[in-house]
Structure 1
Amino acid sequence: MSAVHLLEINMINKEQKLENPDSCPKCGASMNDIDWDGPDIDGDTAVYNGHCDKCDCVFTQENRIVYSLTTWEE
């Protein structure tokens, strides 16, 4: 089993809220250093797969779509 494969398994089992959205959860690299694939959309969730060019980790990022109702008077 390669080091990259072990890292993929470890990253899948960890969940955290990122301080900077669209950043690497391991090293904090910005979105410019990440190769994105996706989104895969299921209901109100969009899943993006990321590969960090700086630390070579692979991870997924889930974005939830928020619906809001706007009211107005006529």
Structure 2
Amino acid sequence: MDTAVIWIPADIDPVEPAVAKCLDHSRRRGYRLEGIVRGPWESVSWMVRNREVDVVIISDQAYVPLVSAFRIEVAGD
């Protein structure tokens, strides 16, 4: 079972719709959810680099970092 973290960028407001969308995505994929991180990309990328999680879930394609070698999934895709 893959582990996941939901990343909510700090500028998303309100956060509830994004969180609900990402939680549903995680549930449908059967991920073990490690948590929800709200803040800059660096606040979650270390979790992937340190192998604490396998995948980062985001609510919208617009929030995909420009440069990333990590596994990122957009909720709803």
Q: TM-score, normalised by structure 2?
A: 0.22
Greater fraction of residues in helix: 2
The structure with higher relative contact order (CA 8 Å, sep 6+) is 2
Greater fraction of residues in strand: 1
